[in-house]
Amino acid sequence: MGKYHQKKFYRINQYIQASKLRVVDETGKQIGILSRDQALLESQKEGLDLVEIAPNAEPPVCKIIDFKKFRYLEAKKNTGKKGKKSNIKEVRLSPFIAENDLKNRIEKIRKFLKEKDQVKITIVFRGREIAKKEFGYRLAKTVIESLADNSQIGQEPKIVGRQLVFIIYPNEKDQQKKEIQN
């Protein structure tokens, strides 16, 4: 088993070894410091389990809760820790794109940048167009200049195979200024 499949081990009920325990109920409200036997009686009265959640604390902390529910909540807590992934949206262009089509694509890129997504712009060369790379670089320069007010270049334009690729990011400082003004 790899590190991703390791499960945390919890002592429950009669397997708890400490003689004095800090006991917490299902909602997280403290019941107090009880002996192990008193805590077990409390949990049995409610028909729940006594789960040791902080064995290294002094005294160890135990929670009165259904163990299956506790494991479910722990698993849910661990999966929720992934931060917002920065999405990379891709916009494909042709080096000889019509002016109106280019305006529409730039507006689409602006929308992606407002949503705080990164945008990978790919200029695809077909057939003999690869011999006219300067048209692709000129188009890239046009796109960068038209988006300069609310973006920054993450990766400079470079040829990869038959494509000219570059990445732009939303301008963090502008986003923060707009949020402060609103």
Give the CATH number for residue 129.
3.30.110.10
| Threshold 0.75, pTM exceeds | no
Residues 67, 101 within the same domain = no
Is-cis flag, bond preceding 157, omega within 30? no
**Measured between alpha carbons, how far is 173 from 147 in angstroms, rounded to an integer?**
15
Whether 181 is in a domain gets the answer no
Sheet of 151-160: strands edge to edge? 88-93, 118-124, 163-170, 151-160
Residues 100, 170 within the same domain = yes
Count structural domains, the chain: 2
pLDDT in tens, the chain (182 residues): 445 555 678 888 888 888 899 999 888 889 999 999 999 998 899 899 999 988 888 889 999 999 898 888 888 887 765 555 668 999 999 999 999 999 999 999 999 999 888 999 999 999 999 998 999 999 999 999 999 888 899 889 999 999 999 999 998 765 455 444 44
Whether 182 is in a domain gets the answer no
For residue 38, what is the domain's CATH number?
3.10.20.80
Residues 57, 115 within the same domain = no
Residues 94, 74 within the same domain = no
Structural domain containing residue 137: 88-176
Residues 73, 92 within the same domain = no
Whether 28 is in a domain gets the answer yes
DSSP bridge partners of 168 = 119, 153
Residues 92, 168 within the same domain = yes
Residues 48, 95 within the same domain = no
Other Cβ atoms closer than 10 A to 104: 11
Angle at the Cα of 154 from the Cα atoms of 126 and 79, rounded to 5 degrees? 105
In this structure, what are the phi and psi dihedrals at residue 6, rounded to the nearest 5 degrees? -75, 135
Whether 94 is in a domain gets the answer yes
Among 79, 107, 142, the domain-final residue is 79
DSSP bridge partners of 164 = 123, 159
Residues 70, 145 within the same domain = no
Whether 137 is in a domain gets the answer yes
